[in-house]
Structure 1
Amino acid sequence: MVAHSFRGEVFGPAQRLHGATFVVDARFSRSELDSDNIVVDIGLATQKLGEVLAGFNYRNLDEVPEFAGINTSTEFLAKHIADLLAEAVHAGALGEGARGLAKIEVTLHESHVAWAGYERSL
């Protein structure tokens, strides 16, 4: 759950401060299963995703210094989350087996008819 506003006529009434509630999906992919026959340690992945989301859950994103001057669109947030998860993979926070991941995809669902995502290679 976040609050934010946008700049630019393309955003219409969303230029005013408003709230958004997202369901966040993170998808991890690789070309082959690791030696334990898994793609990633789902427990570590779930924990790290929770930590990433805790950084801006229940916050007004307009007041977060690292987002100053940025339209924190659904797409931007999906990319931001994917990038933070990628950093965690490279740092070993998802386990050594996660270093074999090929890509991460993050989707933010605003409703059953509106969602956006971002996919990145590792």
Structure 2
Amino acid sequence: MYEVTIRKSFAAAHLLREIGGKCEGLHGHNFIVEISAAAAELNEEGLLIDFRLLKRWTDEVLEELDHKYLNELPFFKDMNPSSEQIARFLYERIGEKAKPAKTPLSRVTVWETENARVSYSL
């Protein structure tokens, strides 16, 4: 099995409702995200996927989050914009962009801090 992973970052603000503690207040993070795609076979060019494609799709989706107040975005309107939900959002949105290339995402990891991360995969 081959796996390709890229790393990107974005900055955003959020608050987490009804969890108790200081994260209920407005605060921000410089998130690091890792987007991974995997497959057993390589394409005709000997690649799993061109890194540039995966980076472009990720950049397009991260534009929706970068320097935004996540609680106000439609996807997060009825849920806490936790790192878990951010990972799922990225997996779904970037995964849609990857479908025509027939390169399934294997995992999305969101680092909220250098010591705390969450991963989402199917």
TM-score, normalising length: structure 2: 0.84
Indicate the residue corresponding to 1:35 in structure 2: 44
Describe the SS at the equivalent of 1:44.
helix
Matching of residue 6 in structure 1 with residue 8 in structure 2: no
Calculate the aligned-residue CA RMSD, in Å.
Answer: 1.4
Matching of residue 114 in structure 1 with residue 98 in structure 2: no
Indicate the residue corresponding to 1:104 in structure 2: 106
Distance of 2:84 and 2:64 partners within structure 1: 17
* Structure 2: gaps (5+ residues): 1-10
Percent of aligned positions that are identical: 28
Indicate the residue corresponding to 2:88 in structure 1: 79
Matches within 5 A, 1:61-76: 61-76=70-85
Describe the SS at the equivalent of 1:37.
coil
Count of residue pairs the alignment pairs up: 112
1:34-93 deviations in whole A, cap 9, x for unaligned? 121111121011011001000110001122233212101101101100101111122x2x
Give structure 1 regions of 4+ aligned residues with deviation exceeding 6 angstroms. none
* Structure 1: gaps (5+ residues): 93-97
TM-score, normalising length: structure 1: 0.84
More strand by share: 2
